[in-house]
Amino acid sequence: MTPSYVALDVEIPSDVKQIEPIVSLVTEHCRKLHLSRRQCSLNIPVALSEALSNAIICGNREDPQKHVRLRATVSDTALVFDIVDEGRGFEMSDVSNDPTTEESIEAEDGRGVFLMRKLMDRVEQFKGPNNVVRLTLNR
């Protein structure tokens, strides 16, 4: 197994205004890891924003008493982001809509999970006491 280390482990309040600064911090770290320009400026910021936004809005219902934890683990082969909220979350496996169809293209919502799946190599959800969404991007 490839050795890995925790590059970042932070908690943010359930406020969507917190997303941009934390994503900016992560992408800065990613640039230092010499990931591709596209991974740093598209895949990671967009997928991470979607996951954090889901955690804050759907998971914690924007409750200021609740927090979202972001843990980033790095190995030679992959970056793994665990996004943990304190809510029940939503069932990601239920989200199978294709927002690119003629019927859905003009919908305002419904592209978040689609984008995470398109921009990451793996998107998983683990339910326990908390809701965990794990994003994996191969290096």
Partner 1 sequence: MSFTLKKIGDAVVVDVEGQLIVGNRQELKQKVLDELEKGERKFLIDFAQTGYIDSSGLGVLVSLSKKIREHGGELRLADLNDDLQTLFELTKLDTLFQISETRERALEGF
Residue with tokens 């911090």: 25
Among 25, 29, 53, 78, binds partner 1 (CB under 8 A): 53
User: How far apart are CB 86 and partner 1 at their closest, in Å?
Assistant: 19
Nearest approach in angstroms of CB 130 to partner 1 is 21
Choices 5-13, 83-91, 108-116, 121-129; region in contact with partner 1 by CB under 8 A: 108-116
Q: Are 55 and 70 in contact (CB under 8 A)?
A: no
Q: Which of 76, 94, 103, 109 binds partner 1 (CB under 8 A)?
A: 109
Continuous segment of H or E residues that includes residue 49? helix 44-54
Beta strands in the chain (DSSP E): 4-13, 67-75, 78-85, 122-127, 131-138
User: CA torsion, points 63, 128, 55, 121, in degrees to nearest 10?
Assistant: 170
CA angle 118/29/124 to nearest 5° reads 35
Under the criterion CB under 8 A, does residue 46 sit at the interface with partner 1? yes
Could you say which of 29, 31, 66, 111 contacts partner 1 (CB under 8 A)? 111
Restricting to residues 15-44, name those near partner 1 by CB under 8 A: 16-17, 19-20, 38, 41-42
User: Rounded to the nearest whole angstrom, what is the least distance from the CB of residue 97 to partner 1 in the complex?
Assistant: 12
